[in-house]
C-alpha cells in the first residue's frame, strides 16, 4: 500500500491559487476564534443592553446594530458562536463515533449482523433528519446539549451506511486476504487493515456534516428547542429579530448572514477535502 498524498486543499501553494477556499478557511477560523475567545472580538456584553439605544442601526459603534433591548447584536453573534459551534462539534463527534462503529460491525461481521443493523439504519434514513432531531430533543428537554445529542443521533445512520460500504470494499482487497493467509486473527486484521483504510470517506463525511450540523443546530434554536433567552445562540438571534425584520431588518438579516457564511464556508472546505488529490 502507498501513502496518499496530502490533498491540494491542504498545501500552501494550493491555497494561494484558490482564493475562495482561503476565504472559506478565514470565515471558519474567525467563527472558531469567536467561540474560543469572544472577549478579544468585542467589548460589549451579550446580555446587558442600553435601553436608550434600542434598535440602533449598524454603525461604527454597533457593527450589527442593536436589538429591542439595546443589546449589541455583533456581541451576541460573537458569544453565540460558542453555544452553536460547541453543539455542532458534539453532534458530529456523536454521529461519527457511533455511526462508524455500527457501520464497521455491519460490514465486517457477516450477513446476519449486516441485515439486522442495516434494516434499522434504513428506517432512520427514511425519517427526515430535522424531524427526528425535533422528536429526540422534545423527549430529552430543551437545551443546547440536548440539541447536540439530537442532531448527532439523527446523523448516525448516514455515517453507518458510508462506513459499511467502505468496510465491505476494503475486506475484499488482496492485502486483507493476504493478512488472513499469514495467520493474523480477525480482530487484528480489522484493527490493522480494515479500520484505517475505511475511514477516509467517513472523515470526509464528518467534514461535510459540520456545515449541515451548524444549520440543524441553528434551525432547532430558531424553533425554540435550544437554550432559552437571553442566552445568545445563532438560531435564536434570527428568531428574535424576525418580528422586526420589516422595520429593523438588521436584527434578523445580519445574524442570519453570519450563520449562512459559516455554513457555506464549512461546505466549501469539506468539498475540497473530498476531492481526489490525483485530479
State which fold the 8-274 domain adopts.
MetI-like fold (1.10.3720)
Contact yes or no for 72/62 (Cβ under 8 A): yes
**Average pLDDT, consecutive stretches of 10 residues, N- to C-terminus, the chain (279 residues):** 45 66 92 94 90 89 92 94 93 94 90 88 89 89 88 92 91 81 80 87 86 91 86 91 91 93 90 57
> Domain-by-domain residue ranges, the chain?
8-274
Q: Name 72's bridge partners.
A: 66
The per-residue pLDDT for 3 is: 43
Cell output for 21: 477556499
The whole-number pLDDT of residue 247 equals 92
Take residue 19 and report the three cell numbers written for it. Answer: 482564493
Which residue in 197, 263, 228, 255 sits closest to 27, CA to CA?
A: 263
**Distances from the Cα of 135 to the Cα of 151, 217, 247, angstroms:** 10, 14, 34
Q: What is the pLDDT of residue 276?
A: 43
Residue 230: is the preceding peptide bond cis (ω within 30°)? yes
pLDDT at residue number 162: 92
**Rounded to whole angstroms, how far apart are CA atoms 264 and 70?**
30
Closest CA relative to residue 121, chosen from 146, 104, 135, 138? 104
pLDDT at 105: 92
In order of 89, 101, 204, 237, the CA distances from 210 in angstroms are 7, 19, 10, 20
Residue 48 makes CB contacts below 8 A (sequence gap 6+) with 71
Amino acid at each position: 500500500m502507498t501513502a496518499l498524498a496530502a490533498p491540494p486543499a491542504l498545501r500552501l501553494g494550493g491555497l494561494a491559487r484558490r482564493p475562495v477556499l482561503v476565504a472559506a478557511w478565514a470565515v471558519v477560523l474567525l467563527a472558531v476564534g469567536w467561540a474560543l475567545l469572544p472577549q478579544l472580538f468585542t467589548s460589549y456584553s451579550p446580555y446587558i443592553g442600553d435601553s436608550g439605544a434600542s434598535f440602533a442601526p449598524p454603525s461604527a459603534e454597533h457593527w450589527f446594530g442593536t436589538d429591542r433591548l439595546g443589546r449589541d447584536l455583533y456581541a451576541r453573534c460573537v458569544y453565540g458562536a460558542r453555544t452553536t459551534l460547541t453543539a455542532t462539534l458534539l453532534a458530529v463527534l456523536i454521529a461519527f463515533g457511533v455511526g462508524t462503529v455500527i457501520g464497521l460491525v455491519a460490514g465486517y461481521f457477516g450477513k446476519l449482523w449486516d441485515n439486522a443493523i442495516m434494516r434499522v439504519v434504513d428506517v432512520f434514513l427514511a425519517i427526515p433528519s430535522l424531524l427526528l432531531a425535533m422528536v429526540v430533543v422534545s423527549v430529552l428537554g430543551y437545551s443546547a446539549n440536548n440539541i447536540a445529542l439530537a442532531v448527532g443521533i439523527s446523523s448516525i445512520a448516514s455515517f453507518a451506511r458510508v462506513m459499511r460500504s467502505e468496510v465491505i470494499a476494503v475486506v475484499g482487497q488482496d492485502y486483507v486476504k493476504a493478512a488472513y493467509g499469514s495467520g493474523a486473527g480477525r480482530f487484528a486484521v480489522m484493527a490493522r487493515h480494515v479500520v484505517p483504510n475505511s475511514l477516509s470517506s467517513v472523515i470526509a463525511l464528518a467534514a461535510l456534516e459540520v456545515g449541515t450540523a451548524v444549520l440543524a443546530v441553528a434551525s432547532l434554536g430558531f424553533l425554540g428547542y435550544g437554550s432559552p433567552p437571553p442566552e445568545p445562540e445563532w438560531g435564536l438571534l434570527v428568531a428574535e429579530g424576525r418580528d422586526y425584520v420589516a422595520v429593523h431588518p438588521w436584527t434578523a438579516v445580519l445574524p442570519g448572514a453570519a450563520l449562512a457564511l459559516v455554513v457555506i464556508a464549512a461546505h466549501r472546505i469539506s468539498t475540497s477535502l473530498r476531492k481526489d488529490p490525483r485530479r
